[in-house]
Amino acid sequence: MKFDTPATGNAIDRLTIIGHPVDRIDGPLKTSGRAPYAYEHHAAVPNPAYGVILGAAIATGRIRSIDTAAAEAAPGVLAVITYENAGKIAQPKGPPLALLAGPRVSSYDQAVALVVAESFEEARAATRLIRIDYAREQGRYDLAAEKDAAVMPPSIFGGESDTAVGDFDAAFAAAPVRFDQQYSTPDHSHVMMEPHASLALWEGEALTLWTSSQMIAGARRAMAMLLGLDPQNVRILSPYIGGGFGAKLGVRADALLAAVGARAVGRPVKVALTRPQSINNTTHRPATLQRIRIGATADGRITAIGHEGWSGNLPGGSAEAAVQQTRYLYAGADRMTTTRLAVLDLPEGGAMRAPGEAPGMMALEIAMDEMAERLGLDPIAFRILNDTQVDPENPERPYSLRQLTRCFEEGAAAFGWDRRRAPGAVRDGRWLVGMGVAAAFRNNVPMKSAARVVLNRDGRVTVMTDMTDIGTGSYTIIAQTVAEAMGVPLDSVEVLLGDSRFPVSAGSGGQWGAHNATSGVFAACMKLREDVALKLGFNSAETVFEDGMVRAGNRHVPLAQAAAEGDLTVDDAIEYGDLDKRYQQSTFGAHFVEAAVDAATGEVRVRRMLAVCAAGRILNPKTARSQVIGAMVMGVGAALMEELVVDRRFGFFVNHDLAGYEVPVHADIPHQEVIFLDEVDPISSPMKAKGVGELGICGVGAAVANAIYNACGVRVRDYPITLDKLIGGLPAV
């Protein structure tokens, strides 16, 4: 199905199942422990050997020699794999960068060996017996020190590295009110629940890999490329995934070395990364330095806005696109953004939880709060004053739908924004209490997505697509889509996901999963309806599918009858035209936070949170709400706790476990509310839906920072906002 004109009325608009808060259909499997994760496919592969990875003890340098003799002789050991005996592995130039070190070591904890043994314990014990002589070199580990050497990256995810409209410098210099400030965000780790894990099985030249992957087709291409295989000989399976947050967009060392190890020992091998390895051995969200300049008229209209961002990565790695939202979010005739990338020899930087906008909004939305104060405006009024209904860099491009102002207005009313007072003015015992707000913004990404649907003689419909469910609810919303489109009850639908034998979907990432995957399924269902109508002798234009029946005029036939002589199987895909070129497609929201700061210690407690989201049709308010609530929690983590601490001498992340890398727990999170505006966006997709998951994180950190400022009058521009950054500025008691 080609989607190149805005959607008109269709079967989804009936909203008998779509738009309802349906429980997760995979819930019982998950809660009873019967959903197998990558390390757990005992039924499919009964007797695997165990692989344990040994990571490099240096960040930068060379392996002079590896002595594996003692490890090979250890009890239970079947093989020790290093670069010297691994066979040919292609070295990619871009991410993922080299997954097996040797002789070069490019980052700390990069895999240098895999021990394969009869048991996990034997493999782990033998890794301790490997002797490696390293020639350590001094690498570059400090973003601030490398900032001036940073260069324009070839491209960044989602667009250009630099943009300019008009003459920013002149407009900024001439602006009656000027603001110029710097911000920083630290390196972050995904810390999803399920670590990276893979189980590899070879049958001749054919590799089957159960792995925890957000993107099945990408994993298949990557494994084929790394091992020099025909992609037809690689099967990827990832039916259940315990979170990804971007860490599992690409394959990592567990996948590669499980395959290499299994080939070496002639037996299936499974490999999981430990929690410390998942922090230094894989990817992380790169730290950013940001500078924001805003010029405005005295009455608060932005005339000039500039955002510069710096991040670092290994050679060939990508830049963090922290300036992304500043190209779109607010009006202003003269504008500029730049993205600069420094070479750092830290572990590879990659996509994490709304890459670009998440750290970018953490800076921009503090800057907007600061500028509003300088102008003597309410921060919501300032933002509404500078709303735009067109892409400000390309004013001929309207937004497909932009209801940011409504998000602020409805949120202000629901949250009690009128009770906000001046900084430091509200006390509750020992607590200083304040409110903060920030916009939420994240782009909507249309992406081709295919599916197969099969109708059987019992009237049941099976849908197959290589889409993944990383904990988001894909199984459920895809089942709802089929049920709505085919007019069958939810329990007549079977959803099969996460297998590279199925048609290629958009996969899970960048909040593009839900609307694209369901649109692909919708396309296949519409084609199936045509086949059914043809089979049953209906004129398809008038045919209605509901209650398991096919009806037209006064004729009605059970849907199942169309498959009486055999299953009806169709494949189709959603393919987009240029609607995303003609219209800027984004999702919007407003985040409200009430925070309390201990007047003596600077301890911060978030007291209330509200997100108002405008993200097109909400396919399932329960799964969408869970997405946004989880994202808000991540925003609190980024605001107050999350920070990978860089050892600038030896080039690694020091706090590589869940004791040292802090994320919010239940006690840190107050009551949260989510309001979805009741909107449909017919320009986005036939489902009229857009992404929503990552919208929930973008802006939260700044809303927390702004609430802290309103509570105690201390402005922190370097995340995370820990009490040591507040205590010196607290008002005298």
Positions touching ligand MOS (CB under 6 A) are 214, 244-246, 249, 351-353, 355, 509-510
Query: Which tokens is 631 given?
Result: 């994202």
What are the counts of helices (DSSP H) followed by strands (DSSP E) for the chain?
16, 30
Which one, 353 or 591, has the nearer CB to ligand MOS?
353
Which one, 214 or 403, has the nearer CB to ligand MOS?
214
The rounded distance, in Å, linking the Cα atoms of 242 and 36 is: 10
Which one, 381 or 629, has the nearer CB to ligand MOS?
629
Q: How far is CA 401 from the centre of its chain?
A: 23
- Nearest distance from residue 509's CB to ligand MOS, in Å? 3
Run of H or E including 707: helix 700-712
Burial of 555-569, coded b for 16+ CB within 10 Å and e otherwise, reads eebebbebbeeeebb
Burial class (CB in 10 A: 0-12, 13-18, 19+), 46: exposed
Which one, 61 or 349, has the nearer CB to ligand MOS?
349
Tally the C-alpha atoms within 13 A of residue 417's C-alpha that lie toward its C-beta: 21
- Nearest distance from residue 445's CB to ligand MOS, in Å? 9
- Nearest distance from residue 447's CB to ligand MOS, in Å? 12
- Nearest distance from residue 351's CB to ligand MOS, in Å? 4
- Nearest distance from residue 196's CB to ligand MOS, in Å? 14
Closest-CA residue to 452 (of 514, 531, 512, 513):
531
- Mapped to the 3 state alphabet, what secondary structure does 100-133 carry? CCCCEECCCCCEEEEEEECCHHHHHHHHCCCEEE
The rounded distance, in Å, linking the Cα atoms of 98 and 111 is: 9
Give the active site residue among 194, 357, 373, 694.
694
The rounded distance, in Å, linking the Cα atoms of 612 and 695 is: 10
- Nearest distance from residue 354's CB to ligand MOS, in Å? 6
Which one, 285 or 607, has the nearer CB to ligand MOS?
285
Residue position matching structure tokens 């830290």: 346
The rounded distance, in Å, linking the Cα atoms of 412 and 74 is: 66
Give the type of residue at 100: L
- Give 246-271 as a DSSP string: TTTSS--HHHHHHHHHHHHHTS-EEE
User: Strands 586-598 and 431-443: what pairing?
Assistant: antiparallel
The answer to whether 331 and 388 have CB atoms below 8 angstroms apart is yes
- Nearest distance from residue 141's CB to ligand MOS, in Å? 24
- Nearest distance from residue 166's CB to ligand MOS, in Å? 32
| Residue with the CB atom nearest ligand MOS in the bound state | 246
- Nearest distance from residue 307's CB to ligand MOS, in Å? 21
- Give 353-379 as a DSSP string: SSTTHHHHHHHHHHHHHHHHHHHT--H
Query: Which tokens is 95 given?
Result: 């991410």
Closest-CA residue to 649 (of 84, 139, 110, 63):
139
Going from the C-alpha of 65 to that of each of 125, 133, 729, the distances in angstroms are: 20, 5, 54
Neighbouring C-beta atoms of residue 66, cutoff 10 Å: 21
Q: Is 575 annotated as catalytic?
A: no
Q: For the chain, what is the radius of gyration of the CA atoms?
A: 27
Which residues are catalytically annotated? 694
